[in-house]
Structure 1
């Protein structure tokens, strides 16, 4: 089983220069999923269940947006048993989500998390170990080109067009795990390549530069600054994003918006992570 991480500090805003567009590539990483087959009973011929685990939030809008994504995944793959669960704040937790599955059915836990930090590398690995059930944890959702598709769509919806003198600041939650921070920086690089403009990553917690500082520095350099929200759904961190974006012309919506269908690239990404982890673990 696999994946999430801690500390990267820098006192200056890290700026990612625009690069020439590159061909889309699937982000293959070394931290491949590993299955937990200890104490597992023989499996039936049923395909492994897809258990989508998000962080959890007290925001009603955020809860609705995540639920809509899980529903969309289930609709896209009616041949699978698809269920949701949460790392924190909400119920069911991981153990309860796995416990609700048919006995002896294998499960692939897909983190609905954008980067691989502590939750993916530690929490999910530990809590997914259930006696009598084969489980494996997939990679985090990011980095991946399909996330860039959604970010680009949200930017267009906010009125952003890629022109000289315009800059994007990517707002990420942040982590004390350097692996998660580097995942976010990689997404910033990929977005810069896609748009052909300068992209700076600003963090809301734990890592530097902080979003407010990144926006201020970008405003000194550029005629127009747009904040691209790299968060799964509305909630505490999106409120913080808007509060720390003074000086920006606009702030995009998160990847998921309540009341809107879950973006097709995001649904495809969740299913893709499931299939990848299932194949790697040798599950049916």
Structure 2
């Protein structure tokens, strides 16, 4: 039975460090799924565009598009959905988050940053005008709070409220000794830069590459490929 191609679709970035981080994540996915062809695609900034990759791959066999995106939003609901829609042998998975493995990765970044009692944590997300994205981020905030046994608020770089600067200021005004911005982005780039300029005392590193995130990608792939009709996989 044919193993569908995994199309790992990320946002795209002009940052060389960001591109390296995403390539590192994709290589981790390849290591977890050695019998699966993994291709990269993008919704913005970089090429090849997801629609072009889907059309090319679909011409020769089935595929699963996994968004390398942390929350639901325009890129999942519109860009990726539009690319997949014409092809009965291609399916797309949900975004990577919310997920417990992402919460564990965030917890580790906070521990690495030296979090201690009395610190306030702001989960710093890119943001989206899609209300579902805000729901996803707030769900992740609650999961991280449960791991830390601490209060975690959220802030957004764009698209939703409160914006990061406001969220950091509110945490400081509430009496926090230090405010830590937990970067809920995969890689260095525009939004990581906005988070770095949020006014937080400490900013954690972006999440990728990380084997736990690669495991989420693999999990999304394995779940979605079972949605493809068996006749397509023969």
Structure 1 length-normalised TM: 0.77
Give the 3-state SS of the residue equivalent to 2:212 in structure 1. helix
Give the 3-state SS of the residue equivalent to 2:2 in structure 1. coil
User: Distance between the aligned counterparts of 1:240 and 1:125, measured in 2?
Assistant: 28
* CA deviations over 1:134-166 (Å, ceiling 9, x no partner): 1000010000001011111111111113x2x22
Partner of 1:272: 219
Residue 123 of structure 2 is aligned to residue 167 of structure 1: no
Residue 206 of structure 2 is aligned to residue 254 of structure 1: yes
Give the 3-state SS of the residue equivalent to 1:170 in structure 2. strand
Partner of 1:117: 73
User: Distance between the aligned counterparts of 1:103 and 1:121, measured in 2?
Assistant: 23
Partner of 2:112: 157
Q: Provide the aligned length of Structure 1 versus Structure 2.
A: 230
CA contact (8 A) 1:95 1:130 kept: no
User: Distance between the aligned counterparts of 1:98 and 1:211, measured in 2?
Assistant: 35
CA contact (8 A) 1:166 1:225 kept: yes
User: Distance between the aligned counterparts of 2:225 and 2:44, measured in 1?
Assistant: 25
Partner of 1:92: 48
Give, in angstroms, the shift of residue 167 of structure 1: 1.4
Residue 222 of structure 2 is aligned to residue 231 of structure 1: no
User: Distance between the aligned counterparts of 1:186 and 1:236, measured in 2?
Assistant: 24
CA contact (8 A) 2:154 2:167 kept: yes
Give the 3-state SS of the residue equivalent to 1:83 in structure 2. strand
Partner of 1:243: 197
Please, what is the CA RMSD of the aligned residues?
A: 1.5
User: Distance between the aligned counterparts of 2:165 and 2:74, measured in 1?
Assistant: 25
CA contact (8 A) 2:121 2:181 kept: yes
Partner of 2:13: 57
Give, in angstroms, the shift of residue 282 of structure 1: 4.1
**1:1-284 residue pairs with structure 2 within 5 A?**
45-101=1-57, 103-131=59-87, 134-161=89-116, 163=117, 165-221=118-174, 222-244=176-198, 246=199, 248-256=200-208, 262-282=209-229, 284=233
For structure 2, the 5+ residue unaligned runs are none
Give the 3-state SS of the residue equivalent to 1:234 in structure 2. coil
Give, in angstroms, the shift of residue 75 of structure 1: 1.7
User: Distance between the aligned counterparts of 2:42 and 2:123, measured in 1?
Assistant: 25
User: Distance between the aligned counterparts of 1:102 and 1:237, measured in 2?
Assistant: 32
User: Distance between the aligned counterparts of 2:31 and 2:86, measured in 1?
Assistant: 27
More contact order relative to length (CA 8 Å, sep ≥ 6)? 1
For structure 1, the 5+ residue unaligned runs are 1-44, 257-261
